[in-house]
Structure 1
Amino acid sequence: MKTIVTNMTGSVWRILVQAGDQVEKDQDVVILESMKMEIPIVADASGKVKEIKINEGDFVSDGDVLMELE
């Protein structure tokens, strides 16, 4: 199983995929808001979204797991 983690601290502004979606490497999957900027988080591997660990509006820190791929 692969995980997508954040490399920064911020608020989850938008989740762009749902459980069951197929994602490709380098696809935007989450948009974080940090310091009034919108920063896309991209998948570092291809796979099917197994579970989303966050909700829109959540605060995340560097290294937090956002979702799992299978």
Structure 2
Amino acid sequence: MGQLIEAEIVANVLKVVAHEGQTLVAGDTVVILESMKMEIPVLTEEDGTLTKLAVKEGDVVQEHDLIAVVE
């Protein structure tokens, strides 16, 4: 199923950087989360195409919530 990108902490989705269909390389930022006034970039670990973006700006994610899928 490719790489599942999940939230590691409870946070707000501050900014969506990538879009579905975009080709990504390892280390690219998918979204930026905000928690306790800190900005946390969420990066892809593999090269591939962003096939699913499961969040939008302003969403609140819990630990282990799906953020995106890269295949």
Instruction: Decide: shared fold, TM above 0.5.
Output: yes
Correspondence for 1:11: 12
Identity of aligned residues (%): 33
- Structure 1 unaligned regions, length at least 5: none
TM-score by length of 2: 0.90
- Number of matched residues? 70
Measured after TM superposition, the shift of residue 6 of structure 1 is 1.4
- Specify the SS of the correspondent of 1:7: coil
Superposition CA RMSD, Å = 0.9
> Mind listing any 5+ residue stretches in structure 2 that lack a counterpart?
none
Output the TM-score relative to the length of structure 1: 0.91
Partner of 1:39: 40
Please tell me the residue identity of whatever aligns with 2:43.
Answer: V
